[in-house]
Amino acid sequence: MKDSQGPLWEVFVQKKAGQPFVHCGSLHAYDKEMAIENARDLYTRRSEGSALWVVPAAAIVASSPEDAGSFFEPSNDKVYRHPTFYQIPEGVKYI
C-alpha cells in the first residue's frame, strides 16, 4: 500500500542465541537501517531479544488459510512418521 510512512516490515525477535526467531509484529520504515533500528526501539525496549530480523512484508509468501485443509492434508494420514506408531516389546530398554 502506497503510504507516506514507508513500506511495511515484519519483525522477528530471537530471545537468546540458539532459540528460534519469533514473529512479534510489524512496523513502517523507509530503508533497512531504519527498519532494524525502529525494530530495536519498538520491540526490544525491555531486553526481549539478543538478535533481530526485519523482512519486507511484501517479500513474505504465506499459505492461504482457506486451503489449509488440502494444503496440509498429505501429513494427516501418515501416522507412521510418529514414534508411537511402532510397538517395541516390553523389557527392551533405551529405544
Q: Which residues bind another protein (CB under 8 A)?
A: 1, 3-6, 8, 24-28, 30-31, 34, 41-42, 45-46, 62, 64-66
- Which cell numbers hold the place of 76? 494427516
Rounded to a whole number of angstroms, the minimum distance from the CB of residue 77 to another protein is 22
- Which cell numbers hold the place of 10? 515484519
- Which cell numbers hold the place of 21? 526467531
Kindly tell me which of 33 and 50 has the beta carbon lying closer to another protein: 33
Kindly tell me which of 46 and 82 has the beta carbon lying closer to another protein: 46
Kindly tell me which of 16 and 82 has the beta carbon lying closer to another protein: 16
Question: Which phi and psi angles does 9 have, rounded to 5°?
Answer: -125, 145
Backbone CA torsion sign across 58, 64, 70, 75: positive
